[in-house]
Structure 1
Amino acid sequence: MTTEAPAVSRSVVRQALARVEVPEQHRFSAADATITHVDGGVNDVFFVGGPDHDEFVVKFAAYSTRAHFRAGVAAYRLLAEYTDLPVPTVYAFEENPAETPPFVVMERLPGEELAADFRDVASVTAPDAVRILGAVVGEFATIPESATDGYGPIQSFDDDGSGPRAVANFDDCATMLVEYGETLYDGSPDHDALEEIVPAVPEFLRANRDRFPTEPTPSVVITDLSPQNLLSRDGTPPDGIDGVTGVFDLERAKIGPLEFTAINTEYLLSRYVSDPDPVREALYDPLPFDSDVPARDLYRLIAMGRSVNALARWYDPGTLEYRHRGQELATEIRRIVENRPPR
């Protein structure tokens, strides 16, 4: 779907492309190039093509940081090296260009998204789509332990002579999770109910640090994952994971426990539905555990942290929707922090 008024102009796209080299099948003169801005969520995404040439993707960091892009590029390369997931081939990544925002040039994968975005609740929560997403999440954990070094945001994907591996910046996973949660709950939106409970969360996480795993089996962790991140030939859920034609938009990728990705994804998919059971059952069906994992409450608390942190960005402050969503978050946060059973 095309969108209006990208922050990055087509002349900037041409300027960026002049800095990089793409494979032969994508080479054509700038004068012949067709540059189409598409809906890329919070960043600026363009499809670039030419006469009798395959299109490719140029994505600029309009909202995401260069560190987010760096982590996503590393995740693509890690998953391409060690799994069969159809992630895009990265042709070039410019982290610090002088005259443009950071950008990545990569393969355009075939197919259509399984959902438009999180507001497309019916598609995002369709059990067949969620089940395929669960299978993809499971594949994130098939990387070998030797392919990672550390936990947290992926800093690089390098080969030091012993084989390619993703490097993250925490030696201890529990420390990473606590610090990540502290960052998300650093301050509260202008909302009475949240202002009362949010300050208690960092201390709660620190007090429960020993419930987090210290050195779990590594998995790629994506904290903004839904069927929108998956492609199939016609945009409908395929019968199995082999029918997925693309897995993309992996910015902010981390190394951490598979259980955290599962609980985080469960929260994202079920937060707007009255009955979360069908979503939960479909998501965990292909996974090696059910939803009742150790530290489930802590993982969910961290998952909700992004909603708290971004409440004023996703909803207009002062609206009934803003007040209602903030109250929902505050109620569940209080239940976890005060160790109350759910109603």
Structure 2
Amino acid sequence: MYLALRELQHQKLRSLLIGGIVALIAFMVFMLTGLTRGLSRDSASLLLDTPAQSFVTIKEAGGVFNRSFLTPEQVEALQNDNDGAAALAQTFVSFSRGDKQLSGVLLGVDARGLLAPEPSEGQGLRAGGAVLDESLREDGVQVGDVLTLKPSGDKLRVVGFTRSARLSHQPGVYVSLARWHHLNPRMRGAVNAVALAAAPEQVKLGTDLSLTDRAQTLQVLPGYKEEQGSLTMIQVFLVAVAAFVLAVFFYVMTLQKTAQFGLLKAIGASTGTLAGSVVAQMLLLTLLAVTAAAAVTLGMVQLLPAGMPFHLTPGNVAAASGLLLAVAALASLLSVRRVARVDPLIALGAG
């Protein structure tokens, strides 16, 4: 550690330049992590934060809600066999507030059931009316407003807002199940899914029905798997680039110091001491760069537009930082190998 600190202090400009490059890479990793998490929540926060552990759909739907139609008899059987089973009905709608046209997903749930939204402002479904995802406040919607569904002209009075109610990048509009069926008479009492708080292995299931847990339901949500897969691959390639850049930079630095390593070995320094110094220098420089990048990223979050799907927690930053430090440790092995092969006589002769 002593040698690592002395060299960083002596080679300030070089250390600053390399640290700056590492910080830029870390910044991109943090931003992509925030965008990935943000898009995930924008697409499926309703499923990510729901207390439900399992979802029942018809077998042919493969777990996709909008392809599933459960009859009232099937729903009743599930509720009789499983405590707390809650029906969920959904349909995508367009509605207007004054002269402003908006869209969302109309969700029919039991006002006293497992899926009933917890109001963050105003009242819940028990007050009648609709509870909206709070992102609609950015479009000017307020408690007490009356929304007009298109093209039917049906009216919904906003009684409250809730958090984490987005599905397929659309804000949720909760209404009671009876109200939902009144607005969708062609469904004839059918619903799209039944949510259960019990784990899949504890659920009693009838014939012609399919059971998926929360993770499986997310994976079959239209577009979710493809969107997350693309962003994850970008992150993987970025981390791979970070590993390559770190390995090459520090290997070149090690080659430039071959004579110095030879001299230190000649006066008694062990290979382990020199290798430890190289690894410590790399990790310390990476740690400082990652810390600076994390601070800049968390500051940048405050400047992002309110509508941008970005979600980054200290836990996400810590996980990404740990990954970058692990990558730096692995990248340092190339330099360690070079240090171990330095012959004092040859290195001093070359010097």
TM-score category by the smaller chain?
under 0.3
- Larger proportion of helix: 2
Larger Rg: 2
Q: TM-score, normalised by structure 2?
A: 0.20
Greater relative contact order structure (CA < 8 Å, 6+ sep): 2
Q: TM-score, normalised by structure 1?
A: 0.20
